[in-house]
Amino acid sequence: MIGMNRTYLSDIENVRGNASIDVMVKIADGLDVPVTRLLDGAEICPPYRLGK
């Protein structure tokens, strides 16, 4: 739907990959939500969990 490889999207969803701002905009557009909604709760994720 957003023209993105499913494996790459899955990696982003499962914190195995990083998304650029452009990718985040595509995801937000596909979900019809503001980009900031994708970051809701990000501040509560412990830093040691990021990238795992």
- The reported pLDDT for the residue numbered 18 is 80
- Residue 43: pLDDT band (50, 70, 90) is low
pLDDT at 24 over 80: yes
Average pLDDT over residues 6-35: 87
Q: What pTM, to 2 d.p., does this model score?
A: 0.66
Query: If you ran DSSP here, which 8-state letter would residue 48 be given?
Result: G
| Other beta carbons less than 10 A from residue 24's beta carbon | 15
One-letter amino acid for residue 29 of the chain: D
